[in-house]
Structure 1
Amino acid sequence: MPKSLSADIKNDIKSALLAGKDSMEVANRFRVTYATVNNYANKFFPNRQRRLGGRPMVVSAQTKRFIKLQVLQGQLKTAREVHGKLMELGYYISYKTAINVLKSMNFFAAIKVKKPLLTAKYMKRRLAWAKKHQNWTTNDWRRVVFSDETKVNIWGTDGSWVR
């Protein structure tokens, strides 16, 4: 069973951590292990902020705010445009890093939703058709043939390969 630390040392560790000392520095000062200091830090301050791992961001917070504003205003629409803008600003980073910058600002890639080309004229026609057929009975609808197996291209091909 490991020996427990005295109340004085625990309080000294707590005050050193409150003063902003590094865990390794506190461990060396009180001649305890780094893990012991971290265990006590977790016990004393359960919601403490820890350093994030990994390499620090190359792009500054100010530049990220500028890019975020440009994206929200619609001046930069794609990751390629953001990458180009960052290159203009002197950040010589890869395209993937530009994507990571966007992700860090909670932006995500979205494919444009395909929807039917509806003009006001088509919408009026649809509404008129719906109103005309609104009171149809089940027997009326039984006389209609519904088929989802037919594919009709109105404006050219859909670009798929055919054999």
Structure 2
Amino acid sequence: MPRLSAIDRGRAIGQLQAGNRPAAIANVMGVATSTICRLWTRFQASGSTRDGARSGRPRVTTARQDRVIYRQHLHQPFLPATETSRNTVGTHGAPISGTTTRRRLSANHLYCRRPARRTLLTAQHRQQRLQCGHEHLNWNQRQWRDILFTDESRYCISHADGRIRVWRRHNQRYAANNILQHKAWGGPSVMILGGIGLNHLVGPVVFQGIGPGRGNGVNAQRYINQVLGPTVVPYFQLHGNLTFQQDNARPHTARATTAFLQQNNIRVMP
């Protein structure tokens, strides 16, 4: 049934005061007879046709529970809202819903988002990085120009492996043209290494024989045979006083790699 507007309420009261029956008025206005009767009762009691104040739906959590929910997720950001819901009994005597938990968190400016993915760092790693930053904080351009920064990256050939979105209609998630297809084992890919400095450029070097499966990744021997030997060593011999920078991946820090760099007098940035 539709709600009566302020004008219709006034018309209904006028007709009731004129002696018309509530049922006849309700039939003309398209509402239930009980609606007209309640309107008349309210008018006689208060002299007004306005709606009374409503308390709204009672909250199922107390203010203290709201604070507990907020603090739990502030200190445990990966805690699922559903787990908090199961462990929180509301004022209605039952566990609260996940929606309620999410609303309480949103009210405190905590929102569900995809987490950023980064390399695992221990406390020692962080301390070492901070120390490295302090040691090189005051380096000038002349000092940095003799550093050759290198890194390798994997690139998928069969499909884009970054974050991709699809625009589709509702209930069309599994339509053939909306599915991003890829090989079950990840598909073919290439590993490419490059180096860059203020006035230097090395590569790109494409690793050969890299693929899925145990033993088919980049190891120390492939790193030496495909990168250091044919590319890095000749470049350093040609350009003289350079310092080689690489990350701490296992092929880079292996004993064979360290020995090879020392044998060829290549200074490595610590």
Query: Would you say same fold, with TM above 0.5?
Result: no
TM-score, normalisation: structure 1:
0.41
Bigger proportion of residues as strand: 2
**Larger of the two Rg values belongs to structure:** 2
